[in-house]
Amino acid sequence: MERLRRVLEGRRLLLAACLSYGILLLLDAPCLFAACLGVPCPGCGMRRALAAALSLNLGEAFRLHPMFWSLPVLALSVWKNGRLTGNANVNLLLHGVLALGFGAHYAAVLLQAL
């Protein structure tokens, strides 16, 4: 029963995050991280990249944020409580690749901001 409760909580959080992100997209809200700290956040450009991807302009989407493709993978990971596959080592590798991708992109963005 405890496991079911945790699964439902994770799915509610995912739904809330998706709805919140959708509302921010509709309102064209600025990035609060960038507004408060003066530097872009790791997700800056993701909104425009998703819009470009949905318009099938994948080159522009990669230019704006090369990790745009990872959002469905991350959502699936949350949905499945971090278990993308049946193998714990493969799950760890996939999450590591996502973390490295975001980290590398963010380092490049910060270097450009200097």
Nearest C-alpha neighbor of 42 from the set 69, 13, 66: 66
Task: Please report, for residues 12, 41, 43, 107, the alpha-carbon distance to residue 110 in angstroms, rounded to integers and kept in the order given.
Answer: 33, 9, 12, 5
The Cα–Cα gap between 47 and 33 comes to 14
Count of alpha carbons within 13 angstroms of residue 95, beta-carbon side: 15
Eight-state DSSP code of residue 85:
S
Q: What is the pLDDT of residue 60?
A: 96
**What pLDDT score was predicted for residue 8?**
61
Per-residue pLDDT of 23-71, as tens digits, reads 776 777 777 778 888 888 888 888 889 889 999 999 999 999 999 999 8
pLDDT score at 93: 92
Q: What is residue 6's predicted lDDT score, i.e. its pLDDT?
A: 67
This prediction's pTM: 0.70
**Domain spans of the chain, in order of start:** 2-113
Contact 102/67 with Cβ under 8 angstroms?
Answer: yes
Q: How far is it, in rounded angstroms, from Cα 5 to Cα 38?
A: 39
- pLDDT band, residue 5 (cuts 50/70/90): low
